[in-house]
């Protein structure tokens, strides 16, 4: 139990990719090959596709990422079903390590307003302290019970039932620019979004890293996404 670890951050790393803005252009031009080649430059074509929501040309690419995040984040992430593949650490076949999420001190803890218009504001020192103490205490004692049950010979798939949803897990995710844009449109909160979203901060921390990785592989596409209101095509 001495090695219990509390984290406030998320890991998103690029493992492999096959992606470029060119892949978008190439796929779009198979549809319209005789007319467009001269008329449209690559950048203008990508903007045209984004603005007019021609989605399929954005699917001919692939990013594999490795993610570490708490279970409650994975629960939200894995609700995305289309153009996305997952392999997550199994609680049936592996032992969880004692790594738990505790919000950073600048994570706004208090929710105000009515459903559909929530805003989050900072907590008082007492509220921050209460959250840190409450979560670290439940994490630690749950992990103690988990270790004890394993020690008694109980199956991993049973012992893990006591672990809280702030336990870190890990997974590989493979997806394409279209499914990434759909994820970003729902899991980031930006001023310039045509359709505002209200993601939980913790999945947005992952989404920010996803966007960083993706936009390096497909910079023109990412710029067009931003420019046209962050609507997934």
Window 128 to 157, contacts with its own copies (CB under 8 A): 130-131, 134-135, 137-139, 141-142, 145, 148-149, 152-157
Q: Distance between CA atoms of 33 and 90, rounded to whole angstroms?
A: 47
Q: How many CB atoms lie within 10 A of CB 217?
A: 20
Using CB under 8 A, which of 4, 11, 105, 172 touches its own copies? 172
Q: How many CB atoms lie within 10 A of CB 155?
A: 10
Here the tokens at position 64 are 């594999």
Nearer to its own copies by Cβ, of 137 and 190: the residue is 137
**Do residues 7 and 99 touch, judged by C-beta distance below 8 A?**
yes
Residue 59 as a binder of its own copies (CB under 8 A): the answer is yes
Cβ of residue 218: shortest distance to its own copies, in angstroms? 13
SS3 16: strand
Residue 34 as a binder of its own copies (CB under 8 A): the answer is yes
Which of 160, 178, 187, 230 does the annotation list as catalytic? 187
Using CB under 8 A, which of 4, 14, 71, 223 touches its own copies? 71
Q: How many residues touch its own copies (CB under 8 A)?
A: 97
* Ordered alpha helix ranges (H), 32-124: 33-39, 42-51, 71-77
Part of the chain binding its own copies (CB under 8 A), chosen from 2-10, 68-76, 207-215, 216-224: 68-76
Asked if 160 is an active-site residue, the reply is no
Contacts with its own copies in 38-57 (CB under 8 A)?
39, 48, 52-53, 56-57
In terms of Cβ atoms closer than 10 Å to its own Cβ (0-12, 13-18, 19+), residue 65 is buried
Residues designated as active site: 187
């Amino acid at each position: 139990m001495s090695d219990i670890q509390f984290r406030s951050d998320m890991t998103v790393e690029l493992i492999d990719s096959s992606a470029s803005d060119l892949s978008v252009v190439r796929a779009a031009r198979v549809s319209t090959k005789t007319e467009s080649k001269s008329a449209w430059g690559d950048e203008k074509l990508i903007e045209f596709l984004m603005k007019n929501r021609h989605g399929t040309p954005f699917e001919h690419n692939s990013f594999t990422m490795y993610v570490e995040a708490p279970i409650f984040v994975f629960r939200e992430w894995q609700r995305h079903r289309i153009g996305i593949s997952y392999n997550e650490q199994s609680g049936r076949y592996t032992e969880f390590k004692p790594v738990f999420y505790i919000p950073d001190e600048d994570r706004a803890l208090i929710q105000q307003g009515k459903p559909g218009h929530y805003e989050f504001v900072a907590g008082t020192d007492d509220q921050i302290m209460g959250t840190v103490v409450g979560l670290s205490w439940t994490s630690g004692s749950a992990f103690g019970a988990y270790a004890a049950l394993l020690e008694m010979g109980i199956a991993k798939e049973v012992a893990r039932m006591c672990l809280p949803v702030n336990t870190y897990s890990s997974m590989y995710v493979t997806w394409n620019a279209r499914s990434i844009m759909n994820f970003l449109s729902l899991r980031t909160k930006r001023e310039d979004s045509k359709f505002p979203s209200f993601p939980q901060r913790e999945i947005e921390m992952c989404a920010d890293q996803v966007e960083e990785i993706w936009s390096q592989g497909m910079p023109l596409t990412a710029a067009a996404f931003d420019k046209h209101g962050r609507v997934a095509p």
